[in-house]
A and B are shown apart, each in its own frame.
Chain A
Amino acid sequence: MPAIHDRKFVSADPNKCVGCCVCEYACSVEKEKTYNPTKSRIRAVRLNPLANLAITCRLCEDPPCVTACPRDALTQSEETGIIMVDEEACNGCGWCIEACDYGAVMLHPESKVVFVCDLCQEKGKPQCIEWCPEEALELVTSDVLAQKARRSAVRKLFQESMATR
């Protein structure tokens, strides 16, 4: 496959996401067997009713969280791009949290080490996507996102001709 970047991550479509937090509950149940958004690896943000977005790890190339860790507790899987946390090495200092532009790395309220989305490796597919009632969440590569953006830009430009069949 000639893809630039094969890493897939969970992305929310801002036009579809309504900020309902179902993803947070689905995540905390899958990973922690309880209902508690503070233990979710994906968080929904509502700035106002018209501005909602769920955010989780984007599996960055050269991830700043990994670079920032002074204890080398974070590593990125070469195969999947997932950020892996060595819970023994992490002391919860929070540099990785500060380094992440998306707020996708969080400190676990009980274990006090950081945690991050692993795309539900054990289950095989991210449960937030399974549950999202708006079908706003997708497992995408950055290339797919770019394609979507291009198509939407062109669609806007050709609104009239798109309206005719």
Chain B
Amino acid sequence: MVKERMSYAKQILHVDLSTGKTEIKPLKEDVAKKYIGGIGLGMHLFLDTSKAGVDPFSPENPIIFATGPLSGTMAPSAGNSYAVVSKSPATEGIAEGKAHGFFGAELKRAGYDAVVFKGKAEKLVYVWIDDNSVQLINAEHLKGKSPYETDVAIREELGDHYIRVSAIGEAGEKLVRVASIINDEFRAIGRTGLGAVMGAKNLKAVAVRGTNDVNVANLEEFTEFIKRIHERMKGPATRKYRTLGTPENVLVLNAIAALATRNFTQATFEGAEKVSGEYLNERYIKKIVGCATCGMRCDHIGVVPEGPYKGSTARVEFECLWALGPNTGVDRLDAIIEAIYQCDYYGMDCISTGGIVGFAMDCYENGVLTKKDTDGLDLRFGNAEALVEMVKRIGSRKGQLADVLAEGTMRAAEKIGKGAVKYANHIKGLELPGYELRTLKTAALGFAVSFRGACHLRSGAYSPDVKGKVDRFKIEKGRGKIVMDGEDLYNVVDSLILCKFSRGVFYEGLDEMAKYYTLATGIKITAEELRQAGERINNLARLINIREGKGTREYDTLPPKIMSVPVPDEGVAKGAYVNQKEFDIGLDDYYEIRGWTKEGIPTVEKLKELGLNDLIHIVNKKIGKPKK
């Protein structure tokens, strides 16, 4: 089918998993421009199709797969992506994640900007979207299979190699609150437990084949534009991702005492060399591959050449390596690759899973958990075999302890009791990524206010700290703006669904992103309008969290260790931690620059300015009637 020359499909598919009924609704151009696509459009649709206080595992909780305005085009890094949005089983606030690979392009070619799934299938099913034909297909035979096994089996049984599949593993089926959704073998919608939302709906996978054309408004200029981006992708802006990859961070962070080690006990790791990007690439990386339409290669495929985990294969990024490596005190890359493989196999977020294991090890070392609790497993920091075993147990909820840990660090700490909360490193219920927040304090503020919980990719606020652009050992006025600007930009990036590894190739920043958008969609937008869309999306996410009772100041927190235990390592960082006073200065500064109240609630004026008038009722309930 020939479509008009613009890159939105202008269609939103609604699938009711309880009844099997489907409905197509139009995507209006004003909504498209306001929310762009990806997480922005996804959150808008989430608010539109859900009620306040919905249980993340209830059939009433919608889960939305949204493409971006550039998905399906030849746009490098943005042509291949999709985002998933829902209410998070981990934070009970907004959940969102993005993944690249091949799936997103296929979904757009099938003719949809987004698919909204509601209800719950009676038995395990997968949804087969073949252009305009949408079917629910029995998936009982796929129960317990990994996302990749599911992918292969579906392509086999439907008889088309080019079908793209986004699936959950056993962890998602068993409602592990850190379950991921994985497409194209190792591309994960990792964070916030979205895989468990699919599991609660008995939705094993979404399989797509799209054969429609995807067109852009101005093909000639668009082609020139992406040719330029391709060229830049061969240059310095992407060097890191094409060479050592993100594991380059290991030694960089270690050198500045910012490599969180053993569940944020130390800020440096004596085993850093052995898990460094350099060591990894020399001994384990077999090939570096890439996603559809992208001119940059970043997927470092690690293969274990010998030993007990021989043959284990996984895509290795810094965050996974860190969470399952330094964070658990493990300095063996073969075991780390195996642990990443197991996370992908069961379908779990590597960051959160590593966070949970690190937390459990910390409890074990401090006598909160004993060998009796671990069924004989010696859960000391650095025990590589115990790490791998624990990952498998959590993925299948095997044994009493793993069943508790599968609830995520926050809930597990409450259930374990005995002071376990002291070792629970999470924000809003989401485990911390690999940045030592006691020595990277702009990052600390950024992580605390992030709408999806602890996250380095909501603002990139670690960057000014690591690059030495600010004094990273304190929070002061001005940091609020740094965080806000980062957030608004990243909201745009995640709504266009550009890959963050490619953010550096946009030399002109938002100006070029606006041009990119207009050339593809034909919808005129300025850099300022695009920035404001980013701001709107951040406020939208905040409103969703407020509606769910999780969006005010008391939820913008840091873990106890970050706020009370000084860094013990000798050197520049010794004694560092975030004190309440500077943290409050940071929060006040951030809320003020955002135009929010002291409680972190967007003001009516701000919402009007952003064109969110229809959502004022959410804050009115919180702020109460205006004072006379």
Q: How far is the CA of A45 from the CA of B102 in the complex (A)?
A: 12
Q: Which of B72, B76, B213, B286 has the most CB of A within 10 A?
A: B213
Contact between chains at B286 and A20 (CB < 8 Å): no
Cβ contacts under 8 Å, A26 to chain B: 74
Q: How far is the CB of B504 from chain A (nearest CB, A)?
A: 16
Among A5-13, A46-54, A86-94, A150-158, the one that faces the other chain is A46-54
Q: How far is the CA of A22 from the CA of B109 in the complex (A)?
A: 16
Q: How far is the CA of A20 from the CA of B189 in the complex (A)?
A: 20
Cβ contacts under 8 Å, A18 to chain B: 287-290, 297
Contact between chains at B299 and A49 (CB < 8 Å): yes
Contact between chains at B292 and A21 (CB < 8 Å): yes
**Binary CB contact string for chain B from 188 to 221 against chain A (1 if under 8 A, 0 otherwise):** 0000000000000000000000011111100100
Question: Which single residue of chain A is at the shortest CB-CB distance from B234?
Answer: A133
Contact between chains at A133 and B185 (CB < 8 Å): no
Contact between chains at B214 and A20 (CB < 8 Å): no
Q: How far is the CB of B238 from chain A (nearest CB, A)?
A: 11
Taking the complex as formed, is B486 at the interface, i.e. its CB lies under 8 A from any CB of chain A?
A: no
Taking the complex as formed, is B79 at the interface, i.e. its CB lies under 8 A from any CB of chain A?
A: yes
Cβ contacts under 8 Å, B233 to chain A: 133
Contact between chains at B213 and A49 (CB < 8 Å): no
Contact between chains at A29 and B219 (CB < 8 Å): yes
Given contacts A26-B74, A29-B223, A134-B297, contact A36 B292 (CB under 8 A): no
Q: How far is the CB of B77 from chain A (nearest CB, A)?
A: 11
Taking the complex as formed, is B161 at the interface, i.e. its CB lies under 8 A from any CB of chain A?
A: yes
Contact between chains at A49 and B230 (CB < 8 Å): no
Contact between chains at B74 and A29 (CB < 8 Å): yes
Cβ contacts under 8 Å, B72 to chain A: 35
Contact between chains at B185 and A49 (CB < 8 Å): yes
Contact between chains at B293 and A22 (CB < 8 Å): yes
Taking the complex as formed, is A131 at the interface, i.e. its CB lies under 8 A from any CB of chain B?
A: yes
Taking the complex as formed, is B351 at the interface, i.e. its CB lies under 8 A from any CB of chain A?
A: no
Contact between chains at A38 and B211 (CB < 8 Å): yes
Taking the complex as formed, is A109 at the interface, i.e. its CB lies under 8 A from any CB of chain B?
A: yes
Q: Please classify how large the interface on chain B is, using the bins under 10, 10 to 19, 20 to 34, 35 or more.
A: 35 or more
Contact between chains at B287 and A49 (CB < 8 Å): yes
Taking the complex as formed, is B443 at the interface, i.e. its CB lies under 8 A from any CB of chain A?
A: no
Contact between chains at A20 and B301 (CB < 8 Å): no
Cβ contacts under 8 Å, A22 to chain B: 74, 76, 293-295
Given contacts A35-B215, A36-B212, contact A50 B286 (CB under 8 A): yes
Q: How far is the CA of A20 from the CA of B233 in the complex (A)?
A: 14
Number of residues on chain A facing chain B (CB within 8 A): 25
Q: For chains A and B in complex, what number of residue pairs have CB atoms within 8 angstroms?
A: 81
Cβ contacts under 8 Å, B126 to chain A: none
Cβ contacts under 8 Å, A36 to chain B: 109, 211-214
Cβ contacts under 8 Å, B79 to chain A: 25, 35
Contact between chains at B294 and A20 (CB < 8 Å): yes
Q: How far is the CB of A108 from chain B (nearest CB, A)?
A: 11
Chain B contact residues: over half helix, strand or loop, or mixed?
A: loop
Taking the complex as formed, is A123 at the interface, i.e. its CB lies under 8 A from any CB of chain B?
A: no
Given contacts A50-B286, A134-B297, contact A25 B291 (CB under 8 A): no
Given contacts A18-B288, A134-B297, contact A48 B185 (CB under 8 A): yes
Q: How far is the CA of A50 from the CA of B313 in the complex (A)?
A: 10
Contact between chains at A34 and B213 (CB < 8 Å): yes
**Binary CB contact string for chain B from 244 to 275 against chain A (1 if under 8 A, 0 otherwise):** 00000000000000000000000000000000
Taking the complex as formed, is A165 at the interface, i.e. its CB lies under 8 A from any CB of chain B?
A: no
Taking the complex as formed, is A19 at the interface, i.e. its CB lies under 8 A from any CB of chain B?
A: yes
- B102 partner, pick from A21, A32, A38, A133, beta carbons under 8 A: A21
Cβ contacts under 8 Å, B439 to chain A: none
Taking the complex as formed, is B296 at the interface, i.e. its CB lies under 8 A from any CB of chain A?
A: yes
Question: Which single residue of chain A is at the shortest CB-CB distance from B209?
Answer: A38
Cβ contacts under 8 Å, B2 to chain A: 34
Q: How far is the CA of A133 from the CA of B303 in the complex (A)?
A: 24
Taking the complex as formed, is B315 at the interface, i.e. its CB lies under 8 A from any CB of chain A?
A: yes
Cβ contacts under 8 Å, B288 to chain A: 18
Cβ contacts under 8 Å, A133 to chain B: 76, 230, 233-234, 290, 294-297
Taking the complex as formed, is B73 at the interface, i.e. its CB lies under 8 A from any CB of chain A?
A: yes
Cβ contacts under 8 Å, A131 to chain B: 230
Q: How far is the CB of A25 from chain B (nearest CB, A)?
A: 4
Contact between chains at B74 and A109 (CB < 8 Å): no
**Binary CB contact string for chain A from 40 to 69 against chain B (1 if under 8 A, 0 otherwise):** 000001001110100000000000000000
Q: How far is the CB of B404 from chain A (nearest CB, A)?
A: 35
Contact between chains at A34 and B286 (CB < 8 Å): no
14 further interface pairs, Cβ-Cβ under 8 Å (given A33-B219, A49-B301)? A18-B288, A18-B297, A20-B293, A22-B76, A34-B213, A36-B109, A36-B212, A36-B213, A39-B213, A45-B161, A49-B289, A49-B299, A133-B76, A133-B233
Residues of A within 8 A of B (CB): 18-22, 25-26, 29, 32-39, 45, 48-50, 52, 109, 131, 133-134
User: What are 9 A-B pairs at a CB distance below 8 A?
Assistant: A22-B294, A25-B79, A34-B213, A35-B215, A49-B186, A49-B301, A131-B230, A133-B295, A133-B297
